[in-house]
């Protein structure tokens, strides 16, 4: 059984995740991550959150100045993990995920504890998840 740390510190975690999707093992080993693949009802449009999270992980890896960074890689993969629990359908065609970053930090804490991350790693990762939407709250006038 592959641990999340092993997966994220492997040579190509993006390819590994895509392989796990293809063979169905992602939903067995990391069900919360697989659950990011939300069905989109007819008349609504939203990006594929699973694909988005894998792409964010890939971009984070591309920007690593000094090699693999477990904290950043984990936060990148899990940054939207709260979306399945917070999805709401508003006006026709509008999907929202209010406070998904706060819910996501709680979900991530459980995952990370299960996966053997240290308390200091969990604290850093959940802080990054909780704050990842913060820049959207700033206005040009601030």
pLDDT digits (tens, 9 = 90+) for 4-40: 999 999 999 999 999 999 999 999 999 999 999 987 7
133 vs 4, which has greater pLDDT?
Answer: 4
Q: Is the pLDDT of residue 140 over 70?
A: no
Q: Is the pLDDT of residue 99 over 90?
A: no
Q: Reduced to 3 states, what is the DSSP secondary structure of residue 111?
A: helix
pLDDT tens per residue, range 47-97: 788 999 999 999 999 999 899 999 999 999 999 898 877 787 777 777 777
Return the pLDDT at 39.
Answer: 79
Say how far apart CA 31 and CA 25 lie, in whole Å: 9
- Counted residue by residue, the chain has a size of 142
Return the pLDDT at 88.
Answer: 76
Say how far apart CA 94 and CA 74 lie, in whole Å: 29
- How far is residue 106 from each of residues 73, 112, 122, 140, measured CA to CA in Å? 18, 10, 10, 31
CB 76 within 8 A of CB 57: yes
Say how far apart CA 47 and CA 86 lie, in whole Å: 15
Return the pLDDT at 40.
Answer: 76
Model confidence band, residue 105 (pLDDT cutoffs 50, 70, 90): very high
Q: Reduced to 3 states, what is the DSSP secondary structure of residue 70?
A: helix
Model confidence band, residue 142 (pLDDT cutoffs 50, 70, 90): very low
Q: Is the pLDDT of residue 130 over 80?
A: yes
pTM above 0.85, yes or no: yes
Portion of the chain with pLDDT greater than 90, in percent: 63
Q: Is the pLDDT of residue 133 over 70?
A: no
Q: Which residues, in sequence order, are bridge partners of residue 50?
A: none
């Amino acid at each position: 059984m592959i641990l999340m740390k092993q997966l994220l510190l492997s040579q190509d975690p993006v390819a590994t995740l895509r392989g796990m999707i293809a063979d169905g093992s992602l939903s067995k080993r990391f069900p919360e991550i697989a659950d990011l693949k939300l069905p989109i009802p007819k008349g609504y449009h939203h990006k594929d959150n699973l694909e988005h999270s894998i792409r964010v992980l890939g971009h984070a890896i591309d920007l690593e100045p000094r090699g693999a960074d477990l904290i950043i890689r984990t936060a990148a993969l899990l940054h939207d993990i709260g979306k399945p629990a917070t999805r709401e359908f508003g006006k026709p065609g509008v999907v929202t995920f209010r406070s998904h970053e706060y819910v996501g930090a709680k979900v991530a804490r459980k995952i990370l504890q299960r996966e053997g991350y240290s308390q200091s790693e969990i604290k850093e990762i959940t802080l990054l998840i909780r704050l990842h939407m913060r820049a959207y709250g700033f206005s040009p006038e601030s």
